[in-house]
Copies of this chain bind each other. A is one copy, B any other.
Amino acid sequence: MQHSSQNNSKEDADSLIGNKLREHRKELKLSMKEVAEVAGLSIGFISQVERGLTAPSLSSLSSIAKVLNTDISTFLSQPEGKSSFTRNKDRAVYTLSHKGLQYERLSASFPRSVLNSVIMHEMPGHRLESIKHEGEEFFFILEGAITVYIEEEENILEAGDSIHFDSMREHSVWNHTDNPTTILHVCTMDIFGDKQGTKEIPNTRAGRKGV
């Protein structure tokens, strides 16, 4: 059964991938020929893919992505959204369990958004458990100082210092000082748990674009 009624999302997705591929290629000032050769594919095929006339297999897409110095995920999914504006003074403060830690949420959650940010107030002596997970993280110290452990690395950050790392590396944080520390924290992990339709299917309203 090949239902072609409301199924244009697939083709849309294909040509979307194609467009992105073309953009990337152009940015690198490469010709289709060059890409084709390095990726081990034919020129005509590259053309077809870029115009969404055919869908590449995962492995071909991967080869192409490699030539373009990226990986597959670059060509799948894309964000759309709104904005979130927060005033210094009127942000709600969430206090966590041990009371050694407080959060103020800064970022919004719009479809496909990946950025999450909070201001963390970490009390003297407080230690955040060591974890690893997908994504990346960025810390900027607003006030005080803190020790950030990343695998074997020990980094002492003071106000104005920053650190950026792959969250898959085991990391933890410790306020080794006698004063509270204020950290601006930005990461790509869904710390608020409101990104994907947890459990129940999300309301059909803003149809997710196929691929």
Chain B residues with Cβ under 8 A from A115's Cβ? Answer: 115, 136, 138, 164, 186, 188
Specify how many copies of this chain sit in the oligomer: 2
| Residue of B whose beta carbon sits closest to that of A69 | B196
Q: Is the CB of B62 within 8 A of A71?
A: no
Q: What residues on B are CB-neighbors of A93 within 8 Å?
A: none
Interface size class, chain A: 35 or more
Distance between Cα atoms of A55 and B58 in the complex (Å) = 8
Q: Which of B87, B165, B208 lies in contact with A84, CB distance below 8 A?
A: B165
A173 within 8 A of B: no
- Which of A77, A85, A110, A208 has the most CB atoms of chain B within a 10 A radius of its CB? A85
Distance (whole angstroms) from the CB of A127 to the closest CB of chain B: 19
> Is B163 a contact partner of A197 (Cβ separation < 8 A)?
no
Which of B68, B78, B165 is the one whose CB lies under 8 Å from A82?
B165
A125 interfacial by beta-carbon distance below 8 Å: no
